Amino acid sequence: MSSTTSPTPTSIKSLEQLSNQELIGRLRVGVEWLDPRIFELSDDQLNQAWLPDANVGRWPIRVVLGHLADVEMVFATRIRKIFAEENPTLALFDEHAFVDSSIYGCTEGSTMQPPIGGDVATIHTLRSWLVTFLYQLEESDWEQTGLHPDHGPISIRTLAIYNCWHLERHAWFINAKTERMIGPRPQPEACETGGCGKPDCQCVHE
């Protein structure tokens, strides 16, 4: 959500209070948490790294979007693996190795410049795919677990919560960076029906 409407990023604790069905509804929002004005940014703006005292996260927006696409793949794969296999061991994901490589561009000497439209489309598609799967789970399925090498047993519900939190938190920082560069996000009018739940609709604040 834009930092003009939320003073802090989403917390894990707030998501833990949601029922499974409420969590699915929250997951459905997906890329709508992102300020659409990211598509108006220049390559220089997308590639801009940030100093710690800016308090908007250090990674360039292009890197964050690529990271979000990769992590959506990781979460979706882990959740489906836990459902399909009995107490599987989950593979580790070294996010720093990806960021430090040239896969997202923005690194010294890199000639890669991945288009952000591909990242956003990937996030949207994977999130929609995962949500469709989660809708079909029985309540007991949410408690099935896999073994994370660092964190031990972890359930489908816990992974779904962290997936939701991960996108919303990074979206908050992306939106904060966008506001720093091109100004506050215009406040939209409320939808006609109200209560749609979309982060960019004024109805959520009524």
Instruction: Quick: pLDDT tens for 104-141.
Output: 988 777 788 899 999 999 999 999 999 999 999 999 99
Q: pLDDT, tens digit, for every residue of 79-103?
A: 999 999 999 999 999 999 999 988 9
Q: pLDDT, tens digit, for every residue of 7-37?
A: 789 999 999 999 999 999 999 999 999 999 9
Model confidence, pTM: 0.88
Strand pairing partners for 145? 155
Average pLDDT over the chain, rounded to an integer: 90
CATH number of 12-205: 1.20.120.450
Is it the case that residue 204 has pLDDT exceeding 70?
no
Which H or E element spans position 148?
strand 145-148
Is it the case that residue 193 has pLDDT exceeding 70?
no
Q: How confident is the model at residue 206 (pLDDT cuts 50, 70, 90)?
A: very low
- 10 neighbors 169 (Cβ within 8 angstroms): yes
Backbone phi, psi, residue 169, to 5°: -65, -50
Residue 157 CA to residue 178 CA, distance in Å, equals: 32
Backbone phi, psi, residue 204, to 5°: -70, -10
- Domain edges within the chain: 12-205
